[in-house]
Structure 1
Amino acid sequence: MSNNILKGKRGIIFGALNEDSIAWKTALKAHEEGAQFVLTNAPIALRMGEINKLAEHCNAEIIPADATSIEDLTTLFEKSMEVLGGKLDFVLHSIGMSPNVRKGKSYGDLNYDWFLKTLDISGVSFHKVLQTAEKTDAMNEWGSVLALTYIAAQRTFPDYSDMAQAKSVLESIARSYGYRFAKLKNIRVNTISQSPTMTTAGSGVSGFDAFFDYADKMSPLGNASAEDCANYIIMMFSDYTRMVTMQNLMHDGGFSNSGITEDIIAQLTK
């Protein structure tokens, strides 16, 4: 049921690849709540995904952009304001990729050129998005910018590899740019640390199924779904969270504050 909490708001949603992705579900929910937005992804991802179907449903224009390219991002923000008829109220950065993880490289045998690419795509691109938004003067006052992250930025998880460093960079950027944007235009910048989620990116990590089950048992509420994450994102885009900024917001069913749970104990004592 819609409450129109984003009525009249405009934005950009990065990273909608297919129906499993959090960005895809966020776009559906934003449309339902009255927002207008542009969908964007890297050209290669657009060819792989099914984004045209989403764009048609949401009456949204697709503007390809490589989030590591300042030139592409500048074009994206300028065209988005033109297409949407004004400045933006929200941006979702839902981007992450590690060539080392994709190609099965051990953490003790990283390809450092790929490592730098991981950092650029999954972390530094957030700074590029924020800086371009500032330089193009694309954001309205009291706007909201969000990026998706994971608790591996704070804790070690096998096989998450160099993505952990990228997420640490991402969260640090949110704090530093959150301060800057708050002082400039009352714009808030936050990250949401989501449960392991059955998305294309998540399921590409080695051993993901076992970890998904473990995290579910370690979370008193269970793993947070992609749909629930989309709902949280919509709330963060709304005017109900105008004073929340520079935060890493845990959306994980309680995983981050659980030492051990009855479900884990039961499994270990079988």
Structure 2
Amino acid sequence: MGHNLLEGKKGIIFGALDDQSMAWKVAEKAVEEGAKITLTNAPVALRMGQIQELADSLNAEVIPADATSEEDLENLLSKSMEILGGPVDFILHSIGMSVNVRKNKPYTELNYSWMEKTFDVSAISFHKVMQTAMKLNAVNEWGSILALSYIAAQRTFPDYSEMAESKALLESFARSFGYHWAVKNKVRVNTISQSPTMTTAGQGVKGFHEFFDYADKMSPLGNATADDCADYCITLFSDYTRMVTMQNLYHDGGFSSMGMNPAILDK
């Protein structure tokens, strides 16, 4: 049961693929809390996933958009404002992709053209979304922009490859763009550094299941689930966090503050 935390608010959710996606859970929670939303993903992802099922269940429209294309983003934002009746109050960027990871390229032998694609899809797209939205005045005052990150932006996780640098860039964009948007229109921009989560994308990373178990044991509260992440996103879309901006917020059961957990040694 919702608490109407987003009553009267409008938003755009990027990245829902299937019911394991964090963006899928956020979309469900946002509507449950009273928001009206549009959904978007790249055309190839729309063909692979089940986003239309989600849209039908939430009475939301799906607008295809390649987040690396400024033209597509302009169309997405313009159509969303038309459908929702004006500028939005929140946007979730839940996008990440590495061809090097998919093709099991060792970190010391990366294909640089693939790396550039990784950065464009996983991080630069975040800047493009914000720049386009600001240009179109597509976000209301005190709006909230979120992107999903990971602690590999700060620490070394060898199998995460150049996605680590992508997340570091993503977090830097939140700080830098967050300053400019706060000054211009009081819009806040943050990233959430989430626990390893059993999503379709996450499980594609080499050794993911072993690391998921390790992080779960290392974290005093255990790993935060996709549902937990959705709840946290809702609070950051709500008016209760109006003065939080330019932050990377750890949502990981305490993992980011741990050095060693005796539970690991006992095993």
TM interval, shorter chain, is: over 0.9
Q: Specify the alignment match of 1:159 in structure 2.
A: 159
Q: Specify the alignment match of 2:69 in structure 1.
A: 69
Structure 1: distance between partners of 2:214 and 2:125: 31
Q: Specify the alignment match of 1:260 in structure 2.
A: 260
Q: Specify the alignment match of 2:111 in structure 1.
A: 111
Shift of residue 262, structure 1, vs aligned partner: 1.8
Shift of residue 2, structure 1, vs aligned partner: 1.0
Q: Specify the alignment match of 2:19 in structure 1.
A: 19
Structure 1: distance between partners of 2:64 and 2:219: 37
Q: Specify the alignment match of 1:58 in structure 2.
A: 58
Q: Specify the alignment match of 1:6 in structure 2.
A: 6
Deviation string, structure 1 residues 148-198 (Cα, Å, up to 9, x no partner): 000000000021001001000000000000000000000000000000000
State the AA in 2 paired with 1:115: M
The Cα RMSD (Å) is 0.4
Structure 2: distance between partners of 1:108 and 1:259: 27
Secondary structure, aligned partner of 1:159: helix
State the AA in 1 paired with 2:250: M
TM-score by length of 2: 0.99
Deviation string, structure 1 residues 185-232 (Cα, Å, up to 9, x no partner): 000000000000000111000000100000001100000000000000
Q: Specify the alignment match of 2:149 in structure 1.
A: 149
Secondary structure, aligned partner of 2:192: strand
Shift of residue 265, structure 1, vs aligned partner: 1.4
Secondary structure, aligned partner of 1:18: coil
Structure 1: distance between partners of 2:27 and 2:262: 36
1:130 matched to 2:130? The reply is yes
TM-score by length of 1: 0.98
State the AA in 2 paired with 1:144: S
State the AA in 2 paired with 1:260: M
Structure 1: distance between partners of 2:86 and 2:126: 22
Q: Specify the alignment match of 2:225 in structure 1.
A: 225
1:46 matched to 2:79? The reply is no
1:85 matched to 2:102? The reply is no
Deviant stretches of 4+, over 2 Å? none
Aligned length: 267
Deviation string, structure 1 residues 32-69 (Cα, Å, up to 9, x no partner): 00000100000000000001110011100000000000
